[in-house]
Amino acid sequence: MENQGYTGRGVCVAVLDTGIYPHRDFDRRIVAFYDYIQHRSLPYDDNGHGTHVCGILAGSGAASQGRYRGIAPGCCLIGMKVLDRSGNGRKEDVLKALDWIIRNKDEYGIRIVNISVGTTYGHSTHRDVLIQGVEQAWDSGLIVVAAAGNRGPAPGSVTSPGSSRKVITVGSSDLMTGRSGVSGRGPTAECICKPDLVAPGNRVTACAPGAGNGYGVKSGTSMSTPLISGAVALMLEKYPCLTNGEVKRMLLESTDDLGLSHNQQGRGLFNLKKFLAH
């Protein structure tokens, strides 16, 4: 699916995930779809994870009379299916998707890349290749937002590519401690403090695939990440000339300290009101 009706309006977010189902809440805002798994042309999601992530980010709430509305219901979406129906994928497909985004960002108005997936490759070369990919995207001017992963709570459990120094890495504020403390924490292999900040991610209701245009509940740092991507989309609607470095600084300034270490909470819990008050 290529450039189906993109009008140049609204911030565009590319979502690397299991795909996207054309849910009623996305209206006509899915402007492109690329499938690196089965090479199908029309949007679909045989897992549900990607649709849920997109619902948190950009769902209009139309199918729930506004009850389950995303953070930025006016933004456009590009679905990049890099994970199969079991949620597994290859680093090569992630890199291909990132390369496509870099080459086409101006045509589609792509400003944000949401990566609610991560890996803990045993070999550092694989990890480094993914980090190089997202950092190339960052250096091209894109705002890359990545999940800290659900391999916590042990130190050094932030997954790649969220372990990149440059990108905005998001943990889950309500999945950091106790029996459900799965949110990845730093330091990274390069001794960088991560995540950068945290946001709610436990038992979040958002769009689910299927003809009924229903909703489902999921938990994890995957759910925290699109909350930040959506907030960034709102900010770029106000101030479209902001750079990725400026956006990251503003995000880090818009947090509430939870009293935990930087390798658990980053700068703290994201505060949307503080952020949009800039």
Active site residues: 17, 49, 222
Tallying the residues shown for the chain, one arrives at: 278
H or E segment to which residue 270 belongs = strand 269-270
Q: For CA atoms 106, 55, 72, 272, give the dihedral sign.
A: negative
Q: Residue 149 burial (CB < 10 Å; 0-12/13-18/19+)?
A: buried
Rounded Cα–Cα distance for residues 223 and 202 (Å): 8
Q: Which residues contact 77 (CB under 8 A, 6 or more apart)?
A: 12, 13, 15, 20, 26, 29, 30, 31, 54, 57, 58
Alpha helices in the chain (DSSP H): 49-58, 91-108, 124-139, 221-238, 244-252, 262-265, 272-276
Structure tokens at 196: 């950068």
Amino acid at 271: N
Distances (CA, A) of 249 to 95, 121, 186, 196, 232: 26, 29, 19, 10, 12
Give which of 113, 108, 15, 29 is closest to 74, Cα–Cα. 29
In angstroms, how far is CA 227 from the centroid of its own chain? 8
Peptide bond into 161 cis (omega under 30): yes
Give which of 138, 183, 202 is closest to 165, Cα–Cα. 138
